[in-house]
Homo-oligomer: A and B are copies of this chain.
Amino acid sequence: MGEFELIRRYFLPLAGRQKPRSLILGPGDDCAIQRIPSGRDLVFSVDTLVEGVHFPRNYRPDHLGWRALAVAASDLAAMGADPECFTLALTLPVVDELWLEGFACGLKSASDAFGLELAGGDTTSGPLTLSLQVHGTVEQGSGIRRSGARPGDLIAVSGTLGNAGAALDYLPDPNPSADMLAVLEHYHRPWPRLDLARAVRQYANAAIDISDGLLADLGHILAASEVGGRVESARLPLSPALTRLKGDMAVDYALRSGDDYELCLCFSPENWERAPESLKSQLTVIGFVEAEPGLYLDGVDCRLEAVPAGFDHFRRHS
């Protein structure tokens, strides 16, 4: 199968479904063309996934398709952006139609779920690698940045933490228990918090998606905002499945694993007060921001831990 046939068969069905279309020209020309509505800014981010590094070898292609777009879309959520479209740079070792069907199917589910239309891409031969760039828009001046946290802000997180990190231990298990399946679902099918992020953007001072672990990512907010923070481990939201599987270690997963793609947000107490209950019910306050730099967990400074040790993306799933 040629490259053009491959694109036509598997990837063109992901283009041209969004209404109203911001894409003036989709896949098939030298470039795609997008019209940004007046009064809005383009917001974009690229994420790469490498086989054996960011996902295991022989990982199910439908899970990979979903996960790749979810991981990228999570950065749009972290800015409070409205999703628009994405490009796919796909490097494949061989043209395996069964694999491509599964991959395109998972990608299409995610594309539909997140409202991201395929705008273009590049298909090349080589070790299995994916780079997805997502495009969204925000009202001019309204993107939530990492640098907006202020002393006194409450620190909150969405959902429950640590599930996808724990799931890595169970990926090879041929007969996973119900609890294992519950945490595995977080790994295979993460849901970027796009809806929550849009609802929260008028209230939050700062946001980041938790891709490297709570301590590391909260550390990025504190560094960018030139402030410090205190977190209480007893407040961390944990799923019952994670608690049953990992016992006392559950908190460590919640602090250090990031594959759930939940959000970490900072709110002034006044804005937190004003925010609707429907929104606050999706969040858990885990600590607060203070002027003095440092990141204290249960009173112990763990700033050094918050900086990923070395080249973090060298962490391997082999």
Contact = CB atoms under 8 A, between A and B. Distances in A.
Contacts of A53: 124-126
Interface string A78-104: 110100000101010001000000000
7 contacts: A2-B309, A30-B75, A30-B146, A31-B75, A32-B44, A50-B91, A125-B313
A140 interface: yes
Contacts of A32: 43-45
B136 A89 contact: no
Interface residues of A, number: 72
B42 A33 contact: yes
Can you tell how many copies of this chain the complex includes? 2
A270 interface: no
Interface stretch (A127-135, A150-158, A160-168, A278-286): A127-135
Given A46-B133, A52-B126, A87-B133, 8 more contacts: A1-B310, A2-B307, A2-B308, A2-B312, A3-B310, A32-B45, A34-B41, A42-B42
Interface string A26-60: 00111111111010011111111111111000000
Nearest to A217: B30
A258 interface: no
A141 B81 CA distance: 26
Interface centre among A1, A32, A42, A209, by most chain B C-beta atoms within 10 angstroms, is: A42
A83 B32 CA distance: 14
A208 interface: yes
B29 A145 contact: yes
A70 B119 CA distance: 21
A209 B30 contact: yes
Contacts of A126: 50-53, 127, 129
A143 B91 contact: no
A31 B2 contact: no
A32 B28 CA distance: 26
A122 interface: yes
Contacts of A122: 46-48, 131
Contacts of A1: 310-311
A76 interface: yes
B24 A120 contact: no
Interface in A100-118: none
Contact of A33 (B6, B31, B41): B41
Given A50-B126, A53-B125, A133-B133, A31 B308 contact: no
A224 B4 CA distance: 13
Nearest to A129: B129
A73 to B, nearest CB: 11
Nearest to A36: B36
Contacts of A50: 91, 124-127, 129
